[in-house]
Amino acid sequence: MHAHRNTPPPAADEQHRVRYLHLVAAARVAALRPTSEQQVADVVRVTVDDEVDTTTFRAIVTDVSRDVLP
């Protein structure tokens, strides 16, 4: 008898991938200690490399900026 595999739906995979990219971007930004939101956006842009839509990109930049900018 064959084992049944429970594969998550594509939406779950997408959420995990976006969360992973968010964490990587946050770690890179924290290591660089930027002084402006533009610098944060530049790091996030390089990290996500066109893998997310504009709304998600902006949300990541805003979230990461809150954590690292004064």
Confidence label for 8 from pLDDT (cuts 50, 70 and 90) = low
**Residue 26 structural domain:** 10-68
The answer to whether residue 56 sits within a structural domain is yes
pLDDT exceeds 80 at position 9: no
The answer to whether residue 2 sits within a structural domain is no
pLDDT in tens, 12-51: 888 999 999 999 999 999 999 999 999 999 999 999 988 9
User: How many independent structural domains does the chain possess?
Assistant: 1
3-state secondary structure the chain: CCCCCCCCCHHHHHHHHHHHHHHHHHHHHHHHCCCCHHHHHHHHHHHHCCCCCHHHHHHHHHHHHHHHCC
pLDDT exceeds 70 at position 69: yes
